[in-house]
Chains A and B, each alone.
Chain A
Amino acid sequence: MPDPLPREFAEALESSRHRLGRLGSPVVFFSTIESTNDIASASARAGDCEGAVVIADRQTAGRGRRGHAWFSPAGSGLYVSIVLTPARARVEGDRATTLLPLAAGVALAEAIDRMTALRVDIKWPNDLLVARRKLGGILAEAVSAPLAPAACEKLEPEAKLTPTGAARELNTVDTVVVGYGINVGPMAYPPELSDRATSLALELKRPVARAQLWVETLAAMSRRYEDLLEGRFDAILDAWRERAPASRGACVTWNTPEGLQAGVTEGIDSRGALLVRVGDCTERIVAGEINWL
């Protein structure tokens, strides 16, 4: 069962409502939950709930990518999931969905920048790092959600043109749950994380108000989400490139079915894929583990 939103969060939310656009209706708070993404995914599957926000004070089974746990002790971090439907973008809904993970990374870096002036680097596609230590992470999960009748009217007839293999029912929309964790307070990290993780308090040597940071992240997410919906993809890509110095000229390795490959990063393309120069060729990477040397 959800708990009442703590007072400082409720006040921060109300004072910034005008900056949140479609986000924040509803906001569901849990003092302890296994994973905010699980709650948000279940809500998304049950119905059309664009803009819903799930936040927890503590996660007992916070998840990163592919089974990596996200260390989520009480009161020390922001653990948030947001339900979004970028497929409804005015143009190129599939591209908007593809770029959402990058847009989310940009938004979180901007929110932290605005609130603390701390410079956060983005590592492709959307890890948040300070001096190569992880400050925050994003896990996006797409589910097919039923559309409310009112929202069905917005569907373009072109929806019928999806390739046969990818055909979706006309009464569903691809919904994306964007979950993010940001290390805020001082944390007693497990030894295996201590040299790879950091927090805002550690970097700034002062406490940071979680409630205020939370609404800054929502406001920034809202801005970048509107960019996606309006087709302003270049604005997102440019902001991403500016905050991701290692996306150019860095040595990386990655696994392929043919074995380990190595190359030098050459930026991202218009759909956010990482370009890596290998000899005379440029590889286009969209998934998999990349090791930054």
Chain B
Amino acid sequence: MDLDQLKQILDLVRDYGLSEFEIDHEGLRLKVRKDVAGVAPAASAAGSAPAIVAPLPTGSASAGSLAAAVQGTAEPTKPGDAEIELEVVKSPIVGTFYRSPEPGAPSFVDVGSTVKKGQVLCIIEAMKLMNEIDSEYDGEIVNIYVENGQPVQYGERLFAIRMR
């Protein structure tokens, strides 16, 4: 992968409005993530530019220098802040977002709730199939981005979780 290819990737991330992108290619693992709710000050300052978080060069010198170059391109300050503190759960499908198992029932989680990996966070309905969305992390819910009953798009942010 050369710098042109990396630039193409960043352009794609921006053009398609992706909030997160990850690629594992010939020993270079690259993870691009946009600002999450202003929690990472450096990313906020960069506006909507993609923040590059925790690229993991796996040995080769070229991979290492590429990773550094990418950091320099889009994110001049510490790129690791958001990664350490916060994970964002995004919608894996297009559908309707529900915070409780049925109307009138308590929400699966609220802001401040402690969650464990595998715990149900919400339901997204598509084609009359109720999809439970599980937490992939242990932590605390610090933000819920979508109102109950609203449509969500693929990749749309649902929850922010402060990692334990």
Contacts and interface: CB of A to CB of B under 8 A. Distances in A.
Interface stretch (B7-15, B54-62, B63-71, B95-103): B95-103
Interface in B93-145: 93-96, 98, 102-105, 118, 125-132, 134, 136
Contacts, number: 81
Nearest to B90: A165
A288 B96 contact: yes
Most chain A C-beta atoms within 10 Å of own C-beta, residue among B98, B127, B136, B155: B127
A162 B93 CA distance: 12
Interface residues of A, number: 33
* Interface size bracket, B side: 20 to 34
A65 B20 contact: no
A139 B92 contact: no
A101 B128 CA distance: 7
Interface string B66-88: 00000000000000000000001
A98 B127 contact: yes
Contacts of B5: none
Contact of A257 (B104, B118, B151, B155): B151
A126 B134 contact: no
Summarize A's interface: helix, strand, loop or mixed.
Answer: mixed
A107 interface: no
B127 A273 contact: yes
B94 A286 contact: yes
Contacts of B102: 63, 66-67
Contacts of A101: 127-129
Nearest to A160: B24
Given A67-B102, A163-B92, A288-B151, A97 B136 contact: no
Interface stretch (A110-118, A140-148, A220-228): A140-148
Given A66-B102, A287-B126, A166 B92 contact: yes
Given A141-B132, A144-B134, A165 B127 contact: no
A272 interface: yes
B98 A66 contact: yes
B91 interface: yes
Interface in A243-293: 256-257, 272-273, 286-288
B26 interface: no
Nearest to B91: A165
Given A163-B92, A165-B89, 8 more contacts: A66-B102, A66-B103, A67-B105, A99-B127, A139-B128, A140-B128, A164-B21, A288-B96
10 contacts: A65-B125, A65-B128, A66-B102, A98-B129, A140-B129, A141-B129, A141-B132, A142-B129, A164-B20, A166-B92
Interface of B: 20-22, 31, 88-96, 98, 102-105, 118, 125-132, 134, 136, 150-151, 155
